[in-house]
């Protein structure tokens, strides 16, 4: 069923909301919100959509859910960041939901630039984490990904905590360990035929269980 058709409907059933873009105020968000207003169980929930896209909340909830995370600081003050962490650091936007991901700052001027651009000229705060290893960004489809075992575990756990079927995850690998750093929506063109196959398989599996599908 198309999202727009679902938004007009009053279907009472379990809803699987499959969308590449779950950003707040976008159709993907409204489908989950509408399903909840109708009293339906829905994947993902509107709360998860908001929280998973807000890096500090993502990290807080992930940590509570047993996913390894690094320390983080929410601020718009470069001085505070420098007092808390040594360079290099990774800077994530806290407020506007964007496709931009993160910026790496290896010195003070790069940090100023990162805070200024991701904080929309200091209008919003940013979320900063130390960069202790290598940043890896990958697609996570129903928790499945094309990565090694350590990162696969993070992807699966992130899906079990937030239930975002389609997203991009940012993970930091430090020696043999991996830490969840951020989540962002995927652009349509980033979804490959192989991803579509994975999505179809998951949907078929759920559909065999007799659940109604929106997407």
Partner 1 sequence: MARIACFVEKYNFSDPREEKALQNFKQAAARAGHEFDFMFRENVSAIPKYDAVFIRATTDPLFTAYVVSRTASELGLKVVDDPESIQICGNKIHQYALFEKYNIPHIPTIFINKEEFHHKQIVEIFREFGKPVVVKAPYTSFSRYVEKVACETSFREVALRFFRRSDVLAVQKFMPTAFDWRVGVLNDEVLYVCKYMIPKGRWKHGAKLRGKPTVIWGRTFSMKRENAPARLKEVALKACAVIGHGLYGVDIKEVNGEYVVVEVNDNPSIYAGYEDLRNKDVYGKIIAYLVD
- Where along the sequence are the contacts to partner 1 (CB under 8 A)? 4, 7, 24-27, 30, 33-34, 37, 46-47, 50-51, 54, 56-57, 60-61, 64, 73-77, 80, 94-97, 124-125
Question: Which residue's CB is nearer to partner 1, number 46 or number 198?
Answer: 46
| Angle, CA of 76, 82 and 86, to the nearest 5° | 135
Question: Which residue's CB is nearer to partner 1, number 124 or number 138?
Answer: 124
Query: d(Cα 195, Cα 162) in Å, to the nearest integer?
Result: 19
**Nearest to 211, CA basis, from 17, 4, 37:** 17
Q: What is the nearest approach in angstroms of partner 1 to the Cβ of residue 197?
A: 26
**Nearest to 169, CA basis, from 196, 189, 188, 146:** 146
Q: What is the nearest approach in angstroms of partner 1 to the Cβ of residue 175?
A: 27
Q: What is the nearest approach in angstroms of partner 1 to the Cβ of residue 37?
A: 4
Residues 6 or more apart in contact with residue 211 via CB below 8 angstroms:
13, 14, 16
Contact 15, 4 (CB under 8 A): no
Question: Which residue's CB is nearer to partner 1, number 4 or number 205?
Answer: 4
Q: What is the nearest approach in angstroms of partner 1 to the Cβ of residue 25?
A: 4
Question: Which residue's CB is nearer to partner 1, number 10 or number 176?
Answer: 10
Query: d(Cα 203, Cα 15) in Å, to the nearest integer?
Result: 11
Q: What is the nearest approach in angstroms of partner 1 to the Cβ of residue 208?
A: 30
- Partners of residue 58 on adjacent β-strands: none
The CB density around residue 197, as the number of other CB atoms within 10 Å, is 11
Question: Which residue's CB is nearer to partner 1, number 86 or number 175?
Answer: 86
Query: d(Cα 37, Cα 124) in Å, to the nearest integer?
Result: 31
Question: Which residue's CB is nearer to partner 1, number 17 or number 75?
Answer: 75
Q: What is the nearest approach in angstroms of partner 1 to the Cβ of residue 212?
A: 19
């Amino acid at each position: 069923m198309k999202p727009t058709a679902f938004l007009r409907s009053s279907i009472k059933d379990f809803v699987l909301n499959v969308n590449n873009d779950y950003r707040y105020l976008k159709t993907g968000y409204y489908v989950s919100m509408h399903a909840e207003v109708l009293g339906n169980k829905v994947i993902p929930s509107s709360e998860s959509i908001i929280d998973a896209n807000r890096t500090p909340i993502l990290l807080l909830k992930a940590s509570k859910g047993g996913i390894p995370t690094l320390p983080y600081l929410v601020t718009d003050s470069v001085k505070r960041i420098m007092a808390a962490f040594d360079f290099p650091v990774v800077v994530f936007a806290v407020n506007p939901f964007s496709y931009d991901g993160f910026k790496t700052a290896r010195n003070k001027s790069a940090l100023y630039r990162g805070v200024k651009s991701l904080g929309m000229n200091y209008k919003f705060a940013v979320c900063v984490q130390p960069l202790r290893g290598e940043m890896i960004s990958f697609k996570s489809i129903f928790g499945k990904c094309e990565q090694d075992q350590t990162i696969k575990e993070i992807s699966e756990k992130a899906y079990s905590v937030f239930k975002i079927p389609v997203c991009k995850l940012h993970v930091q690998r430090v020696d043999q360990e991996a830490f969840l750093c951020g989540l962002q929506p995927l652009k349509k063109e980033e979804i490959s035929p192989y991803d579509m196959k994975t999505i179809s398989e998951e949907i078929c599996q759920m559909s065999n269980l007799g659940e109604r599908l929106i997407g």
